[in-house]
Structure 1
Amino acid sequence: MNDNHPPSAWSTYSRTVFIAFAAVALALIAYEHRVHVLGILPWLLILACPLMHMFMHHGHGGHSGHDHSRHDARMTPHKPKEKEDV
C-alpha cells in the first residue's frame, strides 16, 4: 500500500514554534496589562455571586422541569410508624 499524503500545513515543528510564540506573547501581554486585570478582579468576584446563585440553584421554581417534591420527600427524615400494643 502506498500512502502518499500531501504534507500537512501544520507540521510538528510549526506547531511547536507557534505554541512557544503564543505562550511568550500571552506572558508579555499579561505582564503589561496586570494593572488592568487586577483592577477589574474585585468586580469579577462581585459578579460571580449572582451568577453562581442563578446557575447553582437552578431557579428553585417549576421552570427547570425537575420534580422537587421527590427531592424534598427524600430529604426529610423518615419516622417509622409506632406499633400500638393491643
Structure 2
Amino acid sequence: MAHHKHDSIDPNLDEGVRRPFLSTPAGFALCVFLAVAGVFLWVEHRAHVLGALPLLLPLLICIGMHFFMHRGHGGHGGQSGDRDDR
C-alpha cells in the first residue's frame, strides 16, 4: 500500500472548507449594490432626513433616558420588599 504525503498545495484538502459570504463574488456584488443604494437614498432624501432631525432628537433622548433610568430599580419586576436576601 502506498502512502501519499499531503502538502498544503494539494487541491483536494480545501474541498470541504467554505469561504465567508463576503469573500464570494455574490457577497461582493451585494456590498456594492448596498453601497450604491445607500448613496442614492442619501442624495434623494437628505432634505427629508435633515428636516425631521429636530423632531427625532427629543424622541431618541426620551427613549434613551427611559432605558437607562430603569436600571436603578431592577426593571418592572414584581419583587416584594419583605424577602430576606441573606
TM (norm. structure 1) is 0.54
Alignment of 1:9-48 (within 5 A): 12-48=24-60
Q: Cα distance 1:39–1:4, how it changes in 2: closer, same or farther (>3 A)?
A: same
How many residues were matched structurally?
63
State the distance in 2 between where 1:63 and 1:19 align. 40
Letter in 2 for 1:48: L
Letter in 2 for 1:32: E
SS in 2 for 1:33: helix
Q: Aligned residue for 2:67?
A: 55
1:26-81 C-alpha deviation (Å, 9 max, x unpaired): 1111111000000111111111222122111107657545x9xxxxxxxxxxxxxx
CA RMSD of aligned residues (A): 3.1
State the distance in 2 between where 1:37 and 1:17 align. 27
Letter in 2 for 1:13: P
Q: Which has the higher helix share?
A: 1
State the distance in 1 between where 2:31 and 2:25 align. 10
State the distance in 2 between where 1:61 and 1:4 align. 55
Q: Cα distance 1:58–1:13, how it changes in 2: closer, same or farther (>3 A)?
A: same
State the distance in 1 between where 2:33 and 2:74 align. 50
Letter in 1 for 2:46: R
